[in-house]
Amino acid sequence: MGRDLTPLFDPKSVAVVGASDDPAKYGHAVAAQALRAPGRRPVHLVNRRGGTVLGRPAATSLGAVGEPVELVVVSVPAAGFEAAVDEALACGARAIVGITAGFAETGAAGLARQQAVAARVREAGAVLVGPNCLGIADNTTELYLASDTFAHGGVALLSQSGNLALELQLRTAQHGLGFSRFVSLGNQADVTLVDLVEDCARHADTSAIAVYAEDFGDGRAFAQAAAAAGKPVVLLTAGRGTASARSAQSHTGALTTSSDVVVAACRDAGVELVATPREMAVVLAARSAGSRACGRRTAVFTDGGGHGVIAADAAETAGLEVPELGAGTQQRLRTVLWEQSAVGNPVDLAGMGEQDPRSYADTVGGLLDADEVDAVLMTGYFGGYAASGSGLGGGGASLATGEEEAARRVVAHWRGTLKPLVVQSMYPQSPSCRILADAGVPVFSATEDAARALASMTATGTGGPLGIAPLPPPAEPLRDAGYHGVRRLLTAAGVPFPEAREITCEAELLSAAAEFEGPYVLKALHVLHKSDAGGVALRLADRDALLTAYREMHARLRAPSYSVEAMADLSDGVELIVGVNRDPRFGPVAMVGLGGVLTEALHDVAFALAPLPAARAARLLRGLRTAGLLTGVRGRPAVDVAAAADVIERLTTLAAAHPEIAELEVNPLLVRPDGVLALDCRAVPA
């Protein structure tokens, strides 16, 4: 059970400290909004000068109000913020909204002040939104404490930007959407994004949660809350293209970026990640329709070849499939369309709509009924017959009437199935398209928006969201981060390695060679990227070859120690990389992909939050561009993916249990038809 935010969203009474008659001050805007529902709860205006504000008497202090106030909005200069918060707590406030800026965003001193205020609020058993926020609103409880007015609806908007919130209002209004709640996140000194997601998940009048966040705080906790929400969570975030804070001492660190981490966390949590406010509005409109496809097979339907081809391309770009329809479905479509209509996919009326707009409904019904079709994208001129008045075919009002009847029949067909239907129209505001939209069918003016909407209505797999695996309890810290110390740690966790010994001189080298047979591998230790430095010698047939290689390598590198190892059989094997990088926001992040010396050049890797269960590891491996190497190509046998996935689970669980390790990597992990061997490893201390 998360934090109780009832005093924040449905307080018994409200006070605005810093209320003002000056339209240039934020205290004026918040006070004016707060007075929109005077009958719901008492609203008190506080201004140190007293008098009247917005025509109402203003108290000179909270204490002068004369009765308890459950929620207090503080909009005063930064120098007076702490005193206003202390007075609010002394007067029994259970929730505080801090509009005032000048805290953590200004540097270390501001952060210290902010932390001290937040500590006092928590000690009093209250909650604080902000500071440095733009207020909150809850349409379901008639709580209006932000400068903007939000249309009523089912979307909870949690945003770190006031202007983006305004743009989202404008864009979602085009799709008939509104908001249940709005919260400006501010500095998240006390109430965090995670707290709000959890509370909105419990809020009966919220059907979807829209988030704009630049700072996730605890990113893993956010992903866990979103995964458990039980309703759509759509995320717009900034700065995904920059590299996260990391070391460059391993391939894992060099390849992992903040973008990879956010994408992986959203995928695992079932969060819809979007790039722009427009895309967020499109996805919210799509998810509000309620339909979810069980597959990606999409039928594209049009009355014009150009629109059909463009829509098919857009659908495939969005990750959907546009396969040719089977003979049976094509034959059934032929019974309702004329001879020149195309029925392969895209399905094209080829002008029939101009003669009989009702053909749209017959075709949509046939496509929705086809077992081989998971979703339908209707695109092009529909809506134009009613919008044009006279119509292309000269039928005038009869065409418009027929089109509106077709729209009602399309709705009837759609309601008879669970399959998604999305419409792109040149005339989205036409009466016919309004019939569709009012019934819940998403209608868009842009083809790419319709395709993106349909993709968001398509399940990624039969299992739904993957979920976020819990972190294991911390293990005993690693004391020896050297190569053989890490090897021992991994071996104890069940990661198999070839025989190996660490040596520092020729005598130890010969002793090690006597313990197991060649061929041998010689590695220089404590050398960064030792392959590039010439610190690895392979396929040393016997002790003489091993000794010669050691003398040559030591003369060049003067490494303090070396590793003598049994040479693995590389035939029929595939080299993978498995690593874990500790992200400052999301914790341990796993990377799997094609390994070896070309890892960074090929960049065929995938990411997930660690630990990574074996089933999910196998799924990531099979999703690589080079996954064909695992299943066998050009006469090569398939390798043991299940064994590789098991090792990935063991390694990522181990790394997640060792917070003192910033990066842990096995590269390469040799996967053969008969099992796996870890051939090299590295750990980077935090």
The per-residue pLDDT for range 611-658, each reduced to its tens digit, is 999 999 999 999 999 999 999 888 889 999 999 999 999 999 999 999
Mean pLDDT score of the chain: 92
- What CATH code would you report for 150-289? 3.40.50.261
The span from the CA of 586 to the CA of 606, in Å, is: 16
Strands lying side by side in the sheet with 14-17: 43-46, 14-17, 71-74, 95-98, 127-129
Q: How sure is the predictor about 602, in pLDDT bands with cuts at 50, 70 and 90?
A: confident
Question: Where are the domains positioned within the chain?
Answer: 1-135, 150-289, 293-456, 499-566, 574-685
The terminus-to-terminus CA distance of the chain in angstroms comes to 33
Contacts 24+ apart (CB under 8 A), 470-477: 471/220, 471/587, 471/588, 471/611, 471/656, 471/657, 472/611, 472/653, 472/656, 472/657, 473/657, 474/657, 474/658, 474/659, 475/654, 475/657, 475/658, 477/658, 477/660
**Distance from C-alpha of 236 to C-alpha of 168, rounded to nearest angstrom:** 11
The vertex-103 CA angle with 101 and 104, nearest 5°, equals 125
Tokens of 455: 């993709």
Report which residue type is found at 530.
K
Band of residue 388 on the pLDDT scale cut at 50, 70, 90:
low
Each residue's pLDDT tens digit, 405-459: 999 999 999 999 989 999 999 999 999 999 999 999 999 999 999 999 999 998 6
Percent of the chain predicted with pLDDT > 70: 94
**Is residue 83 scored above 60 in pLDDT?**
yes
Q: How far, in Å, CA of 647 to CA of 668, rounded?
A: 13
Query: 174 or 466: which carries more pLDDT confidence?
Result: 174
**Mean pLDDT value across residues 215-224:** 91
The pLDDT, as a whole number, for residue 603 is 84
Q: What is the DSSP letter of 568?
A: P
Long-range CB pairs of 198-205, under 8 A, 24+ apart, other chains included: 198/2, 198/3, 198/225, 198/228, 198/229, 199/2, 199/3, 199/5, 199/9, 200/156, 200/158, 200/229, 201/225, 201/228, 201/229, 201/230, 201/231, 202/2, 203/9, 203/140, 203/156, 205/140, 205/154, 205/180
Instruction: Find, among 321, 597, 651, the residue nearest to 458 by Cα.
Output: 321
Whether the per-residue pLDDT at 682 is higher than 70: the answer is yes
User: What is the per-residue pLDDT for 254?
Assistant: 52
Mean pLDDT of 58-83: 96
Q: Which neighbouring-strand residues pair with 300?
A: 377
pLDDT (0 to 100) of residue 635: 80
| pLDDT digit string, tens, across residues 533-569 | 899 999 999 999 999 999 999 999 999 999 999 999 9
Alpha-carbon gap, residue 425 to 629, rounded angstroms: 44
Q: What is the DSSP letter of 342?
A: B
Q: Which CATH superfamily is domain 1-135 in?
A: NAD(P)-binding Rossmann-like Domain (3.40.50.720)
Residue 530: predicted pLDDT: 82
Residue 462 pLDDT > 80: no
- The pLDDT assigned to 249 comes to 46
CATH topology identical between 150-289 and 499-566: no
Residue 353 has a pLDDT of 86
User: What's residue 528's pLDDT?
Assistant: 75
Q: Residue 1 pLDDT > 80, yes or no?
A: no
Least confident of 64-68, 128-132, 254-258, 299-303: 254-258
* Cβ(132)–Cβ(103) below 8 Å: yes
Query: With a threshold of 0.85, does the pTM exceed it?
Result: yes
What does 352-363 look like in DSSP terms, one character per residue? Answer: HHHH-TTHHHHH
Question: What pLDDT band is residue 182 in, cutting at 50, 70 and 90?
Answer: very high
Fold of 574-685: D-amino Acid Aminotransferase; Chain A, domain 1 (3.30.470)
With a cut of 50, say whether residue 391 has pLDDT above it: no
Question: Which one, of 266, 285, 303, lies nearest residue 440 by Cα?
Answer: 285
Q: 393 pLDDT band (50/70/90 cuts)? A: very low
Query: In CATH terms, is domain 499-566 a member of 3.90.1150.10?
Result: no
CB burial of 364-377 (b: ≥16 within 10 Å; e: otherwise) equals bbbbbebeebbbbb
The CATH fold assigned to 293-456 is Rossmann fold (3.40.50)
Sequence-separated (6 or more) residues with CB below 8 Å from residue 197: 158, 209, 211, 222, 225, 226, 229, 233
Q: What is the DSSP string of 483-496?
A: HHHHHHHHHHTT--
Examine the pLDDT at 244 and tell me if it is beyond 50: no
Element (DSSP H or E) covering residue 582: strand 574-583
Asked if pLDDT for residue 195 goes beyond 90, the answer is yes
- Per-residue model confidence as pLDDT tens digits over 659-681: 999 999 999 999 999 999 999 99
Instruction: State residue 247's pLDDT score.
Output: 40
| Amino acid making up residue 485 | G
The whole-number pLDDT of residue 151 equals 95
What is residue 501's predicted lDDT score, i.e. its pLDDT?
A: 97
Residue 394 pLDDT grade (very low, low, confident, very high; cuts 50, 70, 90): very low
SS3 612: coil
User: In Å, how far are 34, 113, 131, 158 from 185, measured between CA atoms?
Assistant: 19, 18, 9, 7
Q: Is the pLDDT of residue 146 over 70?
A: yes
The string of pLDDT tens digits covering residues 335-386 is: 999 999 999 999 999 989 888 888 999 999 999 999 999 999 999 999 998 6
DSSP structure class, residue 510: H
pLDDT value at residue 396: 64
pLDDT digits (tens, 9 = 90+) for 259-277: 888 999 999 999 999 999 9
Place of tokens 């209004």: 173
Mean pLDDT of 54-75: 96
Of 254, 492, 457, whose CA–CA distance to 375 is shortest?
A: 457
Q: 527 falls in which pLDDT band (50, 70, 90)?
A: confident
